[in-house]
Structure 1
């Protein structure tokens, strides 16, 4: 199944031992189709597994203005109850603990602990913050792609930082990371019907503000 998506990716080439950010969720989010999602998450690669952990909503929950936390490894996934309201400010963290296990924290509480299987956890790579939305899913990709219909107002991801080998939290900046310079439109290489509905972004040290509007 192919996803019709838009992605902003703020990454670092450095090996890290944790990531964190504080997310102020959009006050409104809308879907025209009964499929898709809006995700804001931290991602890392460690012990031969990709981990994605963050906050999400979907069409069935937006009528009640609900979001929840989620995690995904590509092999399995789960999430918390749909009880976070739009506009809420929620700190999230994905980092190693003193036992070399990977913890996902939401508002300071550990909601999921990952245990390495194939090999022990070491430094984490492919560390990133992702702002993404999926409008539809296709069995086969239409060409041209249909007009984009999923929207949300501003999400603010603030205090985006990584933890180094000394245990120090370092704020992401142009000196130590690769901030998003453009939106990734997926699938690539296809014509669009109507507007492509690009993100509007404001970047500063440790912060991205992104909205997806008309």
Structure 2
């Protein structure tokens, strides 16, 4: 059994609250990000999820410092993309059903196709959601009390044209509101120390702008 780890992280989840067959959005990456946790294993990522698959754009500490991002997909086989997306650039990402298969696309190109492993396969993208996440560090064991001061920041990420695909095959703009920020380890037992305590966010129809400021 491996060593347990606990992410020191915060995330925004945005659900369409509909039965959907796909989700997509454009992501304008932050122009700068700094990941400063003492273990050096934090990250920022912006992704789509559903049916146990998580896929989108991300940067770890060293690559964030170099202003480079890549695509990732937690699901299916194959390696993730190279760190060749520049900070501040805009890319489209999509996670959608093709029969019972799940396709992940970046800039219109299929990067990975996932075959469902469950015996009871789904033709809908269950638990579909949009995620903006930041992890300051991943503790190699039980997190300390108090937690370390939070030291990860990023300029704004812009998630625009956030849409879901309905049963008729039409893409529909999200009209719900994102959930409140979720904290890991969870509040109130583990208060997140220092600034920022929360994302600065601006939400409008089909758009989420989020940043972590000092």
What is residue 9 of structure 1 aligned with on the other side?
Answer: 13
What is residue 183 of structure 1 aligned with on the other side?
Answer: 181
TM-score by length of 2: 0.90
Q: Measure the CA separation in 2 of the matches of 1:121 and 1:78.
A: 25
TM-score by length of 1: 0.90
What is residue 173 of structure 2 aligned with on the other side?
Answer: 171
Q: Measure the CA separation in 1 of the matches of 2:171 and 2:104.
A: 16
What is residue 28 of structure 1 aligned with on the other side?
Answer: 32
Unaligned runs of 5+ in 2: none
Residues 117/192 of structure 1: CA separation in 2 closer, same or farther (3 Å cut): closer
CA contact (8 A) 1:147 1:196 kept: no
Q: Deviations over 1:152-178 (max 9, x none)?
A: 00100001110011101111003xxxx
CA contact (8 A) 1:91 1:108 kept: yes
What is residue 50 of structure 2 aligned with on the other side?
Answer: 44
For residues 52-131 of structure 1, what are the structure 2 equivalents within 5 Å?
A: 52-73=54-75, 78-97=79-98, 99-119=99-119, 120-131=121-132
CA contact (8 A) 2:153 2:213 kept: yes
Residues 58/196 of structure 1: CA separation in 2 closer, same or farther (3 Å cut): same
Deviation at 1:122, TM superposition (A): 1.2
**What's the Cα RMSD here?**
1.7
Q: Measure the CA separation in 1 of the matches of 2:144 and 2:204.
A: 37
The secondary structure found in structure 1 opposite 2:15 is strand
Q: Deviations over 1:7-60 (max 9, x none)?
A: 100013322111000000000001223220101000011xxxx00010000012
Runs of 4+ in 1 over 6 A off after TM superposition: none
Residues 192/124 of structure 1: CA separation in 2 closer, same or farther (3 Å cut): closer
What is residue 154 of structure 1 aligned with on the other side?
Answer: 156
Q: Measure the CA separation in 1 of the matches of 2:210 and 2:20.
A: 25
Q: Measure the CA separation in 2 of the matches of 1:193 and 1:22.
A: 32
